[in-house]
C-alpha cells in the first residue's frame, strides 16, 4: 500500500480503540501539525504558485479534519488533551536532509510530508477496517481517502520541482528507512504509535 514496506498489525486497532479519548486527542494534533507543515512549505517556497494554491487547500482541509476530530471528542464527552509528542515523526525529521542546497532541503521536506501522509493513510485504513465502532470506522475511511490524495500531491511536487535530486531513488530510501523504523511502533494508542 502506497509503497510502504511494512503494514500495521491489525491488533494495533484494538489498542487504539481501548482508549478513544487518547487516540482522538493524538489524532487531532496530527491534523494541526499537517496544516502547520503545509503552511511552512508555502512560506518557504512562495515562488511556486501552483504549490501555494494546492498547499493552501491542503492546510485548510487539515484544519477541517482537526475541527471534525474535535467535534467527535466533544460529542463523546471527552476533552481535547494537550499536544502529544510524536516520536515517529521526530525520527523522520532526523532522517530528513536539511543540509545541502535549498532545493535539496525543499524536496526532502516534500518527501517527509508524503511519508507521513502515506503512513497516516495506512493507519486510518487499519482503524476503518478493524474498530467495532461503526461511526468511527466510517469517519476513518473518509479520512483515509483524503490523506491518500495529499500523499500524491506532495510526491508530485517533489518530482516537479527537483533540480538535481533523483526523487525516485530518494523516495526508495525514505520507504526503506520508514519500513525499519515502524517495526518498533504499533503498540501505543497514537496515530503513529
Ligand atoms: Fe488530515
Ligand atoms: Fe493530510
* CA of residue 17 to ligand 2 center, whole Å: 22
* CA of residue 143 to ligand 1 center, whole Å: 7
- Alpha-carbon span 127 to 73, nearest angstrom: 17
Predicted confidence band at 168 (pLDDT cuts at 50, 70, 90)? Answer: very high
71: region left, alpha or beta (phi > 0 left; psi from -120 to 50 alpha): alpha
What is the pLDDT at residue 187?
A: 86
- What is the distance, to the nearest Å, from the Cα of residue 7 to the centroid of all Cα atoms in its chain? 15
pTM given for the model? 0.96
Residue range 96-105, pLDDT digits in tens? 998 889 999 9
* CA of residue 43 to ligand 1 center, whole Å: 20
Query: So where are the chain's domains?
Result: 12-184
* CA of residue 164 to ligand 1 center, whole Å: 30
Residue range 60-99, pLDDT digits in tens? 999 999 999 999 999 999 999 999 999 999 999 999 998 8
Q: Which helix (H) or strand (E) holds 162?
A: none
Homologous superfamily of 12-184 in CATH? Ferritin, core subunit, four-helix bundle (1.20.1260.10)
85: region left, alpha or beta (phi > 0 left; psi from -120 to 50 alpha): beta
Residue 146 has pLDDT above 90, yes or no: yes
* CA of residue 37 to ligand 2 center, whole Å: 10
Amino acid at each position: 500500500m502506497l509503497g510502504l514496506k511494512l503494514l500495521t498489525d491489525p491488533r494495533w486497532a484494538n489498542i487504539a480503540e481501548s482508549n478513544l479519548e487518547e487516540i482522538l486527542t493524538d489524532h487531532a494534533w496530527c491534523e494541526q501539525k499537517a496544516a502547520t507543515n503545509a503552511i511552512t512549505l508555502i512560506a518557504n517556497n512562495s515562488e511556486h504558485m501552483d504549490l501555494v494554491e494546492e498547499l493552501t487547500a491542503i492546510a485548510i482541509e487539515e484544519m477541517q479534519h482537526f475541527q471534525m476530530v474535535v467535534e467527535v471528542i466533544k460529542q463523546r464527552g471527552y476533552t481535547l488533551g494537550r499536544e502529544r509528542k510524536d516520536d515517529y515523526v521526530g525520527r523522520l525529521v532526523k532522517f530528513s536532509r536539511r543540509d545541502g542546497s535549498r532545493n535539496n532541503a525543499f524536496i526532502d521536506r516534500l518527501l517527509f510530508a508524503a511519508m507521513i501522509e502515506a503512513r497516516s493513510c495506512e493507519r486510518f485504513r487499519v482503524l476503518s477496517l478493524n474498530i467495532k465502532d461503526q461511526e468511527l470506522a466510517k469517519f476513518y475511511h473518509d479520512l483515509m481517502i483524503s490523506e491518500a490524495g495529499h500523499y500524491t500531491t506532495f510526491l508530485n511536487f517533489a518530482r516537479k520541482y527537483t533540480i538535481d535530486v533523483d526523487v525516485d531513488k530518494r523516495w526508495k530510501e525514505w520507504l526503506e528507512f520508514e519500513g525499519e523504523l515502524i517495526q518498533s511502533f504499533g503498540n501505543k494508542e497514537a496515530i503513529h504509535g
